[in-house]
């Protein structure tokens, strides 16, 4: 992977992270139908983001010994988020269970984002230079 494409993929992933962070903030201010629409957007963004990482980013990480060790945990975190999203899909934002799951979802996603940006990206940058 050339340096330019490495920067491009990392920038795209970071842009996705910022978009989801904005959606989580927006969700906190909404109620009813608008909250449901915002959740649908969060669902769509996270599902698409995970798919792109799994199809493009993680296979690239497997090519380098320094980054391979991060894949298992990252994929496990993706699976946890996917399960939560599917559980939440059948609930309404007014359900008490939805609120609890949304908090857990946000915590899980923010942990994953922090780990990717603070640890994995640093290793990627040095391994792929």
Residue 125 has phi, psi (to 5 degrees) of -60, -45
Sort 101 into a burial class: Cβ within 10 Å, 0-12 / 13-18 / 19+: middle
Evaluate if pTM is beyond 0.85: yes
Residue 125 CA to residue 127 CA, distance in Å, equals 6
CA-based nearest residue to 74, from 115, 117, 19: 115
Cα 46 vs. chain centroid, distance in angstroms? 5
Take residue 71 and report the two structure tokens written for it.
């894949």
Instruction: Look at residue 114 in the predicted model and tell me its pLDDT.
Output: 94
* Residues 15-65 pLDDT 10s: 999 999 999 999 999 998 999 999 999 999 999 999 999 998 889 888 888
CA-based nearest residue to 46, from 91, 106, 114, 124: 106
């Amino acid at each position: 992977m050339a340096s330019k494409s490495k920067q491009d993929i990392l920038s795209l992933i970071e842009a996705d992270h910022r978009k989801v962070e904005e959606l989580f903030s927006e969700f906190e201010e909404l109620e009813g139908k608008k909250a449901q629409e915002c959740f649908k957007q969060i669902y769509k963004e996270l599902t698409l983001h995970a798919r792109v990482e799994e199809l493009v980013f993680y296979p690239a990480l497997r090519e380098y010994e320094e980054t391979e060790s991060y894949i298992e945990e990252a994929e496990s975190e993706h699976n946890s988020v996917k399960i939560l999203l599917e559980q939440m899909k059948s609930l309404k934002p007014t359900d008490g269970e939805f609120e609890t799951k949304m908090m857990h979802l946000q915590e899980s996603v923010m942990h994953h984002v922090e780990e990717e940006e603070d640890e994995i990206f640093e290793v990627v940058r040095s391994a792929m230079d």
